[in-house]
Amino acid sequence: MRDEEYLFKEDVREKAITARSAKKRPRHSGCRLPQYTAKEMREMSGPTYTLNLKKRITYAEFKALPEGLQKSYVQNIVDKYRVGPSALAELMGANAGAVGVYLSKRGFSFKRGFQPTKDNLERFREDYGISTNAPTKKITLENFSFCFSGAFNAASFVKQIKAFVPEGQLLRVSVAVEVVEPEPSATEPATEESP
Residue 119 is part of which domain span?
A: 77-128
> Rounded to the nearest 10 degrees, how much is the dihedral formed by the CA atoms of 145, 150, 151, 155?
-30
pLDDT of residue 168: 74
Q: Are 105 and 75 in contact (CB under 8 A)?
A: no
pLDDT of residue 189: 58
pLDDT for position 40: 86
Structural domain contains residue 191: no
pTM assigned to the model? 0.48
Residue 75 phi, psi dihedral angles, 5° rounding: -60, -40
Task: Give the residue among 62, 160, 142 at the shortest CA–CA distance from 103.
Answer: 62
Q: Is residue 22 part of a domain?
A: no
How far apart, in whole angstroms, are the C-alpha atoms of residue 113 and residue 87?
Answer: 13
User: Is the pLDDT at 153 greater than 80, yes or no?
Assistant: no
* pLDDT given at position 156: 77
What pLDDT score does 11 carry? Answer: 93
Task: Let me know: does 70 contact 62? Beta carbons within 8 Å.
Answer: yes
Residue 150, classed as helix, strand or coil, is: coil
Given a cut of 80, whether residue 182 has pLDDT beyond it is no
Any domain includes 37: no
Is 103 a domain residue? yes
In a domain, residue 86? The reply is: yes
Considering the domain boundaries, does residue 91 fall inside one?
yes
Domain tally for the chain?
1
